[in-house]
C-alpha cells in the first residue's frame, strides 16, 4: 500500500474496525451520507468538470482488454488490502443483458466481510470511493475513476444511488435475510467493482490526470 493512501485510509480503517465489531449481521450500510475524507485523491481534480455519474449496461461477452480496468486493478493492488479474483467472465442473463464481467468491466477483489481486517478494508475503500470531494461533489472518486457499481456484503450500489440496497440473492420475497447464503454469490468473500465504459476505456479524469 502506498504511504499516501495508507495515511489516508488509516483513520477510516480504525473506525471501520469498530463498526465491524458492533454491526449486526445483514446488508452493508453506509450509515448515513458519506463524509468527506481528508486527502481524497479526487480533491486534486476538483478544478476539472465533474465526470458524469452514469450507468452503462453490459449487453454481450467481450474479452477485449480494457485499459481503465487494468489501471483500476493496479491501483487497488498498490493501495488496498486484498487480491484480484479476476475481471472477465461470460455471464449472460438474457438477450442483450449481461454482467459487467462479460464486457471485462468489473473486478472481483478478494476481501472477506467475515474477517474484521478485511471488512474494515472494504468499508474504508467504499467510504473513500463514495465520499464527496472538498467542493461537495458526491461520490467524487467513483465518478473520477468511472466506478459505476459496487456489490459487497449482500448489498448493491449503482451510479446515482445515495445508499446501498439489499442484494436480491441474499434475501427472500419478504425482505428477510436467508439463513444460508453462498459467500461468493452473496459477495461476502469479495468486493465487486464495476466500471462505466468511459472508466474502462481510461477516459475519465482520474486516469487522465495525476491520480492514475
pLDDT at 19: 36
pLDDT at position 47, please? 95
Distance CA 199, CA 51 (A): 10
- Alpha-carbon distance of 186 to 169, in angstroms, equals 6
User: Considering the chain, what is the average pLDDT of its residues?
Assistant: 88
**Res 51 pLDDT > 90:** yes
Q: What is the DSSP secondary structure assignment for residue 16, as one 8-state letter?
A: H
Average pLDDT over residues 42-52: 96
- Tens digit of each residue's pLDDT (9 = 90 or more) over 130-188: 999 999 999 999 999 999 999 999 999 999 999 999 999 999 998 899 999 999 999 99
Burial 161-181 (b: 16+ CB within 10 A, else e): eeebebbeebbeeeeeeeeeb
How far is the C-alpha of 204 from the C-alpha of 52, rounded, in Å? 9
pLDDT of residue 209: 75
Give the global pTM.
Answer: 0.85
- Taking only the tens place, the pLDDT of each residue in 20-44 is 333 333 456 766 678 899 999 999 9
Strand partners, 193: 107, 150
Does residue 72 carry a pLDDT above 60?
A: yes
Contact present, 105 and 58 (Cβ < 8 Å): yes
Asked whether the beta carbons of 83 and 110 are under 8 A apart, the reply is yes
Which H/E stretch holds residue 123? helix 116-130
* C-alpha distances out from residue 114 to 110, 121, 204, Å: 12, 12, 33
Closest CA to 132 of 204, 34, 5: 34
Residue-level pLDDT at 181: 95
- What pLDDT score was predicted for residue 154? 96
78-114 confidence digits (pLDDT tens): 999 999 999 999 999 988 899 999 999 999 999 999 9
Contact yes or no for 71/212 (Cβ under 8 A): yes
The pLDDT of residue 26? 47
Amino acid at each position: 500500500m502506498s504511504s499516501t493512501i495508507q495515511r489516508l485510509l488509516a483513520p477510516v480503517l480504525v473506525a471501520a474496525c469498530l463498526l465491524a465489531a458492533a454491526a449486526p449481521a445483514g446488508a452493508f450500510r453506509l450509515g448515513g451520507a458519506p463524509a468527506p475524507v481528508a486527502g481524497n485523491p479526487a480533491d486534486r481534480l476538483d478544478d476539472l468538470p465533474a465526470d458524469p455519474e452514469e450507468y452503462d449496461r453490459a449487453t454481450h461477452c467481450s474479452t477485449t482488454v480494457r485499459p481503465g480496468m487494468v489501471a483500476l486493478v493496479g491501483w487497488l493492488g498498490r493501495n488496498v488490502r486484498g487480491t484480484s479474483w479476476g475481471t472477465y467472465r461470460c455471464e449472460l442473463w438474457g438477450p442483450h443483458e449481461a454482467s459487467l464481467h462479460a464486457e471485462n468491466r468489473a473486478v472481483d477483489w478478494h476481501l472477506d466481510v467475515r474477517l474484521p481486517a478485511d471488512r474494515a478494508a472494504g468499508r474504508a475503500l467504499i467510504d473513500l470511493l463514495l465520499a464527496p470531494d472538498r467542493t461537495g461533489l458526491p461520490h467524487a472518486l467513483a465518478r473520477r475513476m468511472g466506478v459505476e457499481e459496487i456489490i459487497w456484503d449482500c448489498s448493491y450500489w449503482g451510479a446515482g444511488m445515495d445508499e446501498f440496497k439489499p442484494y436480491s440473492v441474499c434475501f427472500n420475497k419478504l425482505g428477510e435475510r436467508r439463513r444460508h447464503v453462498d459467500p461468493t454469490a452473496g459477495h461476502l468473500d469479495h468486493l465487486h467493482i464495476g466500471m462505466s465504459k468511459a472508466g474502462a476505456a481510461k477516459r475519465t479524469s482520474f486516469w487522465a490526470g495525476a491520480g492514475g
